[in-house]
Structure 1
Amino acid sequence: MKKLFIHHPLFRLLSPLFSGTLVYLLILLINNNVLQLQETFLGQELYVCIGLAYLIHEFSRFSLLFFERIKKPKSFFLKIMIQMITSLIMTMILVSIAMYLYFKYILLYVPNIRELYIFNIIFVFITIVYVILYLSHHFLYKINTEKITKEIAAKNEIEEDFLQFKKGINPELLYESLEAMLVLMKENPDDAEQFSDYFSTVYRYILTKQNRELVPLSEELDILNSLLLLFNNLPFRKIVFTNKVTSENWIIPSTLLTLLEIIIRTTIVSEKHALDITLEEKEESLRISFIPEQKLNSSFSMETIHDIVNAYSYYTNQQITMTIWDNLKVVDLPKLKYHENSHN
């Protein structure tokens, strides 16, 4: 309602001047007194019409504000009907009282039914115009809001798709791998060919994972081995991965790949010490643990795995946790059951 122009101070000040003058001219036209315009255009009757226009305008605006704030009835159509009927009745009451007082105490005679009827008809029309303005603004605002909501949703969807695409492409790993492959091709073509096999295996999995919601843990571990072999040929700390999980579990595609890549990239590079990462099974979770030696400008935290946390929230009420225990940083991934996957 605050955006509706009838609540603007300038409109409230000027519109009754025009509508009051128009009412005065209509009454002269109805009474065949148009010739009086040349004699007494700025007469007392004009000021009365303008004053009454101010009264009706402000009452109509107040009624719109009042009915906007009340919550009942819930039906919009019923609420508008009550608002319309109430506003029209109150307008006729106000106009009748005002004109009766003016005629009796200023003109010193009682107005007849025809004169009250003319004033009521004209000012009731003004009230109807106010309600129509409100309805047009309401529906226009509703339509625009729906369009803006759809545009924002489409924009968010495009941004999310772009982020997922960027995440799937992983340009940082792509360029590092290609650069390492160029070096290996000059030094040892056989190693370069094997390196390209690791590279293609990882990227084929990353780019096709969007068609699946959950994958067996064993399948993810197979791809993880290729990723670790890929990283062992890059200038990062050498990785020693230990898998202690023997039973079959389900996992969101690329979860382990993303977690281990973040761990590797946030760990200080060292040629003497390897990075030991262990995967083990607990009663309610899959636990990843490692000794943290984080870089000064980047760290492994819940914020860095925000996408994984959001993805898991769709499949389970259990939260991903990250704790420090016995000099180890521990990440617990909730176990997922096959029946939770509806599109696998």
Structure 2
Amino acid sequence: MALDRKIIWREVRDIVILMLVGILMTWAGVTCRNCYDNSREFWIVASFTALMWVLLWKGNSYLADYISTKMSWIDQPGKRFLVGLVATITYTFLAMYILGAIYTLSFKFNLTAGITYSVIITIIISLFMHSRAFLINWKQSVVTAEQLKRESIAAKYESLKNQVNPHFLFNSFNALSNLVYEDQDKAVKFIKQLSEVYRYVLDTREKEVVPLADELKFLNSYIYLQKIRFADKLSIEISINTIKGGVAPLALQMLIENAIKHNVVSEDDPLTVKVFEDKGFIVVENNLQKKTSIGEPSAGVGLENICKRYEFLSSNNVEVSNNSKTFVVKLPLLTLS
């Protein structure tokens, strides 16, 4: 509410300043030296000039802001400039034509000269304003891109650190120690899958996007390790018909890891995780059965980091939804360079 009042006050202040400029210009005889012979005519001309300044300056400013919400200076600078210039000239012509038509009833006004003068002045001012807007947007985009890049690098580093944290290793080696005595062949396969997981983590640590096929292959190795640990208490179903496109490396694994970490996984309450494709998104969905407390502390890698990585990688946002029964995360498929 306080912010709204501040914006309203700023707009009122600008309008008052512009009207005062118009009145002062009339008093100085800048706009029309021979338009008035008495105080009544002076105030008619002064009000005309004041309204002209408000309509041209504020009107074109609002118009430019609206166009910028529909068309980006960064993505389409040439088109944005051309559309902005045409819209500005058109608005100026119409505003001055209507204002001039109204005021010709009160004093002699050269409508053609007034419109021409206004359009020329507006073009000069618009060139300055559009150039300034372009530079501001360009600077902001550079800052934002650099910030997202740093966040993406930090998230990838955290994902690597998460995979070598003591809890993951402890759980893996604990499962392996049991297999060595129970089933040596399965133990050998377990070691091979564990090495595949770490090889993939190391191979993708410098990559921003990986093929979906590679991520799914890695995911199968990771799921094998988890299935050895949880057996029938955990069910992970992958149903993806296409392998086109890419994903952020380790994103799918992190979502499955989070589902296991934050939900009860037991014989009485088995956890089911589904991974499937839906209209350009890879969906990870699990049934909700939240733990009252998390046994393993978070390593700093979570949904927020995944969302930030995708802000840098895609124009489509990660979609998150949940209800009393399921938790769903949708990752947009990425284009491979």
- The normalised TM-score by structure 1 is 0.47
- The normalised TM-score by structure 2 is 0.48
- Larger RCO, structure (CA 8 Å, separation 6 or more): 2
Asked which structure has the greater CA Rg, the reply is 1
